């Protein structure tokens, strides 16, 4: 018992009533398979888009580096946690992203949540005024968290509406302080893309810094899976936890940017360095990803097969053009019911509900992966149409 228990219970009851209470449901993993309660499932919910979490080279290098260098980095980067392995992986990441430098973080959430405040502090230090942060309305929670931690009021533009962004940039043109545009390149819950060249042009016109979260584009889109921001963003955040099949994240950009973050990003300074096994998986992923054009083509082809099957049956898949295909359901409880029914048929298509997505837009978030067969896509579409279709 804690003195807060009655409050915890009341808050959870509120979620329960709204159909948005979250809980943890374990799965079992075997190579290439996912099971729940002994049932083998087809996974269309993970972010392991290229199947690298099962790749032998990643497993081997992760195990090898753990055996050779130990299980932990033992300290934060600035104390004595920086191994030569961190520098080698950062140099490899910088080459992958065609940037001068890269800096590893423990996770994508931690990177966004601490890099945004570090950049905001730059504005205060250099101009005496808060950073003006222009954010896409659908930006990931970690980016919003970073703004909240910095105490800045975000200027939010309508999702992917660059005319609206320009109106806001103009409106704030005389406001003192540095300015920064923050977006995802592929939106995690909608699977649509930001127009990065157009954002670059706006950033140049209004003297803004362009911050691009490439969590879902890295490994999947752009030349050799490099993402969509190549040479255009001032800062790219990429995760190693999705298509790279591991864990951790990185910031890629200029050497000065990375040096600044080493000195100012609290989530970098006050957190233990990534351990050798994690570095080994990242290192191996970077070796295999450039050569996976066939898998990338297969993956995007699957999405191109799935979308019209659903759209022709009256389902809304938003503006998806990527491996993430949302199937909009509407009410949270109904999305949950459809996901449960799909699971009973062997399909793991998890429901995403508010507050992760806006109210009334609960959805199945279909995240495809290159290991799926054509028959899986057809089976999935048929099941969604049959189980969710009658109330469309």
- Which member of 249, 284, 352, 366 binds ligand PLP (CB under 6 A)? 249
Residue from the set 90, 184, 190, 192 that interacts with ligand PLP by CB under 6 A: 184
Neighbour count for residue 16 (Cβ, 10 Å): 11
Judged by CB, which is closer to ligand PLP: 367, or 383? 367
Does 226 bind ligand PLP (CB under 6 A)? Our answer is no
Among 135, 160, 226, 241, binds ligand PLP (CB under 6 A): 241
Which among 108-116, 130-138, 157-165, 170-178 is the span making contact with ligand PLP, rule CB under 6 A?
A: 108-116
Residue 282, interface with ligand PLP (CB under 6 A)? Answer: no
In this structure, are residues 202 and 127 in contact, taking their beta carbons and an 8 Å threshold? no
Residue 53 interacts with ligand PLP (CB under 6 A)?
Answer: no
239: contact with ligand PLP by CB under 6 A = yes
CB 342 within 8 A of CB 334: no
Site for ligand PLP in 118-177 (CB under 6 A): 140, 142
Rule CB under 6 A: say whether 218 interacts with ligand PLP. no
The nearer residue to ligand PLP, 114 or 239, going by C-beta atoms, is 239
Near ligand PLP by CB under 6 A, which window of 6-14, 101-109, 293-301, 373-381? 101-109
Report d(CA 297, CA 300) in Å as an integer: 5
Distance, in Å, from the CA atom of 256 to the CA atom of 353, rounded to the nearest integer, reads 40
Nearest 5°: phi and psi at 292?
A: -105, 35
What residues from 26 to 45 belong to the interface with ligand PLP (CB under 6 A)?
none
- Phi and psi dihedrals of 230, rounded to 5? -45, 120
| Spatial separation of the C-alpha atoms in residues 347 and 257, rounded to whole Å | 44
DSSP one-letter code for 138: T
What are the distances in angstroms from CA 337 to CA 309, 349, 351? 21, 11, 9
Residue 206 DSSP one-character state:
T
Among 45, 46, 107, 236, binds ligand PLP (CB under 6 A): 107
User: How many helices (H) and strands (E) would you count in the chain?
Assistant: 13, 14
Q: Which of 105-113, 169-177, 192-200, 357-365 is the region at the interface with ligand PLP (rule: CB under 6 A)?
A: 105-113
Q: Give DSSP secondary structure letters for 41-74.
A: EEE-S-S-TT-GGG-HHHHHHHHHHHHHH-S---
Q: What are the backbone angles phi and psi of residue 263, rounded to the nearest 5°?
A: -95, -20
Near ligand PLP by CB under 6 A: residue from 48, 136, 213, 234: 213
Stretch that binds ligand PLP, among 81-89, 102-110, 155-163, 261-269 (CB under 6 A): 102-110
Q: How much is the CA Rg of the chain, to the nearest whole Å?
A: 21
Active site residue ranges:
47, 140, 184, 188, 213, 216, 242
Residue listed under structure tokens 């000065």: 256
Report, in Å, the least distance between residue 374 CB and ligand PLP: 27
Residue nearest ligand PLP (C-beta atom): 108
> By rule CB under 6 A, what count of residues binds ligand PLP?
13
Q: Quick check: 295 binds ligand PLP (CB under 6 A)? A: no
φ/ψ of 319, rounded to 5, equals: -105, 25
Binding site for ligand PLP (CB under 6 A): 107-109, 112, 140, 142, 184, 188, 213, 215, 239, 241, 249
């Amino acid at each position: 018992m804690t003195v807060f228990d009655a409050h915890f219970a009341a808050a959870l009851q509120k979620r329960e009533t709204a159909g948005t209470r979250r809980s943890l449901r374990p799965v079992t993993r075997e190579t290439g398979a996912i099971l729940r309660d002994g049932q083998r499932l087809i996974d269309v919910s993970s972010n392991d888009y290229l199947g690298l979490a099962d790749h032998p080279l990643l497993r081997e290098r992760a195990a090898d580096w753990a055996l050779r260098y130990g299980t932990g980095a033992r300290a934060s980067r600035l104390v004595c946690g920086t191994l030569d392995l961190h520098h080698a992986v950062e140099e490899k990441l910088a080459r992958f992203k065609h940037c001068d430098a890269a800096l590893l973080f423990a996770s994508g959430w931690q990177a966004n949540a601490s890099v945004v405040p570090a950049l905001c502090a730059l504005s205060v230090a250099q101009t005496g005024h808060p950073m003006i942060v222009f954010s896409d309305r659908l930006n990931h929670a970690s980016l919003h968290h970073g703004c909240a931690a910095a105490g800045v009021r975000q200027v939010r533009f309508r999702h992917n509406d660059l005319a609206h962004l320009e109106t806001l940039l103009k409106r704030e043109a005389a406001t003192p302080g540095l300015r920064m545009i923050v977006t995802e390149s592929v939106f995690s819950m909608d699977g649509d893309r930001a127009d990065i060249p157009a954002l670059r042009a706006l950033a140049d016109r209004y003297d803004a810094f362009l911050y691009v979260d490439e969590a879902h584009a890295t490994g999947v889109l752009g030349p050799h899976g490099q993402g969509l921001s190549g040479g255009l963003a001032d800062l790219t955040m990429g995760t190693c936890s999705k298509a790279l099949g591991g864990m951790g994240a990185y910031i890629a950009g200029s050497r000065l940017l990375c040096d600044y973050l080493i000195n100012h990003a609290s989530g970098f300074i006050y957190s233990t360095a990534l351990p050798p096994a994690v570095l080994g998986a990242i290192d191996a992923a970077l070796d295999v990803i450039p050569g996976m054009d066939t898998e990338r083509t297969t993956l995007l082809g699957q999405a191109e097969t799935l979308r019209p099957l659903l759209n022709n049956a009256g389902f809304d898949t938003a503006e998806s053009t990527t491996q993430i295909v949302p199937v909009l359901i509407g009410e949270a409880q109904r999305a949950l019911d459809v996901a449960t029914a799909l699971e009973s048929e062997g399909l793991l298509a998890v429901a995403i509900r508010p507050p992760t997505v806006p109210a009334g837009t609960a959805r199945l978030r279909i995240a495809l992966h290159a290991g799926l067969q054509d028959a899986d896509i057809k089976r999935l579409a048929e099941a969604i149409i049959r189980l969710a279709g009658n109330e469309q």
